[in-house]
């Protein structure tokens, strides 16, 4: 739940990047951090294992200006993707306002995408939130691997697997090269802020 401070006129929005392990959630945030470095006042926080996998979460806060006189402060988080860290994922989802689901386009990760999306739905339910009512954007990551002849799921297959019921905006992207990383972020921010606007007086 976003925190709206009527006294300081500030809206704090929590957006979580969710998805299977090694799918590119942290890479999304790293690209955003490098692209908007001059506009982000603080350092990106990453809690990683020695093997560079996200252990707890990554955190990147930045301001996007004013809406209706309120300073909008976006706080981007990732979750650890590995299956064993579900308790941590649930913890990071506490108070979430918007979600980017980062799916892995590689053919071999098909099952993992589906299971991860299912776990998102279940974890949201533990916070009394409905995935169908939550601002959500899908990102089909790693499209650049096509050039290296790695078998990828087609966009149609990904849409069928993940978005046939949700029917939310989706982007084909490459977090490594940055392709569609910023449009994904802009889309989730606009959807999330729109959903919160009624609280701004």
Q: Kindly tell me which residue out of 37, 50, 87, 167 binds another protein, with binding defined by CB under 8 A.
A: 87
As to burial, measured by CB atoms within 10 angstroms (0-12 exposed, 13-18 middle, 19+ buried), residue 173 is buried
Task: Give the one residue of 53, 73, 110, 200 binding another protein; rule: CB under 8 A.
Answer: 73
As a whole number of Å, the end-to-end CA separation of the chain is 17
Contact flag: residue 33 with another protein (CB under 8 A): no
* Smallest gap from residue 98 Cβ to another protein (A): 13
Return the residue of 17, 18, 31, 77 that touches another protein, per CB under 8 A. 77
Least CB distance to another protein at residue 56 (A)? 6
Helix (H) or strand (E) holding 97: none
12 binds another protein (CB under 8 A): yes
- Residue 145, C-beta contacts closer than 8 angstroms, at least 6 positions apart: 105, 106, 152
Residues numbered 178-197 forming contacts with another protein, rule: CB under 8 A: none
Which is nearest to 20 in space by CA: 76, 89, 93, 95?
Answer: 89
Among 53, 67, 75, 183, binds another protein (CB under 8 A): 75
Q: Are 24 and 141 in contact (CB under 8 A)?
A: yes
C-alpha span between 81 and 181 (Å, rounded): 18
DSSP code of residue 143 = G
For residues 118 to 157, the per-residue mask of contacts with another protein, x marking binding by CB under 8 A and - elsewhere, is ---------x------------------------------
Residues 6+ apart with CB under 8 A from 92: 16, 56, 57, 77, 78, 79
| Choice from 37, 38, 42, 51 touching another protein (CB under 8 A) | 42
Residues that bind another protein (CB under 8 A): 1-3, 5-7, 12, 14, 41-43, 45, 47, 56-57, 59, 61, 73, 75, 77, 87-88, 91-92, 94-96, 127
């Amino acid at each position: 739940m976003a925190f709206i401070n009527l006294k300081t006129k500030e809206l704090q929005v929590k957006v979580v990047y969710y998805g299977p392990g090694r799918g590119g959630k942290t890479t999304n945030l790293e690209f955003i951090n490098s692209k908007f470095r001059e506009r982000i006042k603080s350092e990106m926080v990453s809690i990683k294992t020695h093997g560079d996998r996200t252990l707890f979460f990554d955190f990147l806060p930045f301001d996007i200006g004013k809406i209706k006189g309120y300073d909008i402060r976006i706080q981007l988080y990732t979750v650890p993707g590995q299956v064993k860290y579900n308790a941590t994922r649930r913890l990071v989802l506490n108070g979430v306002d918007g979600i980017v689901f980062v799916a892995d386009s590689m053919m071999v990760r098909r099952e993992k995408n589906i299971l991860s999306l299912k776990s998102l739905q279940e974890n949201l339910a533990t916070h009394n939130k409905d995935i169908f009512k939550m601002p959500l954007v899908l990102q089909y990551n790693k499209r650049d691997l096509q050039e290296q002849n790695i078998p990828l799921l087609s966009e149609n297959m990904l849409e069928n697997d993940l978005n046939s019921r949700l029917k939310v905006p989706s982007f084909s992207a490459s977090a490594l090269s940055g392709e569609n990383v910023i449009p994904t972020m802009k889309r989730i921010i606009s959807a999330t802020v729109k959903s919160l606007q009624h609280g701004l007086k």
